[in-house]
Structure 1
Amino acid sequence: MTKPILAITMGDAAGVGPEIIIKSLAHQHVYETSTPIVVGDAKRLEHAAQLTKSDAKINVINEVSEAIGEVGTIDCIDLALIPKDLAFGEVSPIAGDAAYRYIEKSVDLAMKGEIHAIATAPLNKEALHKGGHLFPGHTEILADLTGTKDYAMMLTSPKLKVIHLTTHVGLIKAIEMINPERTYNVIKLAHDALTRAGIKNPSVAVCGINPHAGENGLFGNGEEEEKLMPGIERAKAEGIDASGPHPADTLFFRAGRGDFDIVVACYHDQGHGPIKVLGLEAGVNITVGLNSGVIRTSVDHGTAFDIAGKNIADERSMLEAIKSAVELAPKPSA
């Protein structure tokens, strides 16, 4: 078997993306398990290499087949969209548009089968919008580019995995959006993703929407019975080890100690909070269910404009994203 080829998108060039990519690709083990190719801006990477005092050479390529794939040389498909004087730490429509273009190029390569997974550095939503791309984030961009309707955001850390019924919407809207079909689909997406990752018959636990999962109608208006339970029962009828709804205030603790393989969160903060308490440096964001088998992982932190360009950004989440991309990617035959 040969190593999977990864596209690493540079993210927002005004943020920490270029820096954490340079630092991550200084690790020998990345090249032992994959062939990483940066989709971004070669001049910005060279600038980041200077900032981090890296001796790495930026190797500009036009085709995936031209990649050298050796530590000390960073292969880059250069879209050349970033001006030399772009400031770090400031919202820029140019950087926002470029971040989108890096994803667009990577998805094109993935759908053509030229790469096997995508790992993304962070983008800035305000810059993305000012650049003309009105998406809430990476997940929605990837779904649009791949024509995917049923997808979900999964967050992973060494002790906890979480997948979401809803993400970047307000709480009232999130509750409106939840229905039995969505509940079933996300349970199945979680089951299938973990099965492909090598977990046999993974256990999927669903959070309640209300405190104490409604406590038999004491809290809420029967949302658990109406929106969650039919989807859970459907999944169970198909042989999936699904359970719930469970009270969210204890479920994450139980999952963290190993009672369940993954938790289904009903809305953004219900799932993001527990993962981020465990440490941003260990978190990975994965988009599950994309058409054409596109695999995408990401750091679980933002562009960190306050520290961008200062050589203090931590690359550990990027390394975890690369590791997860390797684990989830189909392994090409030699």
Structure 2
Amino acid sequence: MDGSTLQSPQLKNHSILVEFILLGFSDVSNLQELLFGVFLIIYLIIVMSNSLIIIITRTDPSLQTPMYFFLGNFSFLEICYVSVTVPRLLTNLCRQDRSISFMACATQMYFFLVFGATECFILTAMAYDRYVAICNPLLYPLIMNNRLCIQLAAGCWLSGVPVHIGFTYWIFSLPFCGSNQLNHFFCDIPPVLTLACGDTFMIEILVYVIALLVVTIPFMLIFGSYLKIISTILKLPSATGRAKAFSTCSSHLIVVALFFGSGIITYLRPKSSHSARTDKFLSLFYTVVTPMFNPMIYCLRNKDVMIAMKKFLLRCIML
């Protein structure tokens, strides 16, 4: 896609931009090699740990339940999610040319938004699974059958696709006729909008609307589910039963808090409070740090996953 096809006709007399320059962490030029090493190690940890979870949830007979079906989907999503931003970040850290074309920037933003929306929906589906398991345990096998699990997973993966196609196209149809230096390490919405020289009011309103639909509503559904879950757990007569019920939910709850907390702060805080440094820090948190901790949270706090992982690693060593 040529940059000129993305510009409004009334700005033909302006200098048309055809690419952006991702500044990334160029303000700490003396730390480029260190940052490259750190992000490379983090990326490898994310890919390998999530791949391991996918393998054991697919192959271990004790993990063939809806909860681990969604965990396998979530782990695959995490690999896709970080692969949208981190490889480009690593490339930019080890080369002088940090340019990114309009098409590449739009593509990166689109997949980042789609995978981010999918993560919100999958976390919501996982909360619903825990709600049914704890609040309606006798009906759990009937409600959370294979057909419903596949439908929920497919809905999570596909729901954000059409919305974000139109949204991304609208953003990159704005006129960009000033600086092409994007003060970020990937093509996120706030830094891209700061470079637009047209009226971005409607886009900003749409950002809040989509954030409400994709982030806030799923978060409220999860919050409501956990109110019911906690209420049910507290009514259990056995302390052991309460502890076991809490342990099956705590990992998911921690992941929800980390992901939704940083996402809500990034996209729903007032525009006046945005700064490039803060945006980059928050983006690092939910694009790199949280995905790195998610497998650890799910593994270390889940005995079934730990047992399955030990069995798998022992089989690999014995081969």
Higher helix share: 2
Provide the TM-score with structure 1 as the length reference: 0.27
Provide the TM-score with structure 2 as the length reference: 0.28
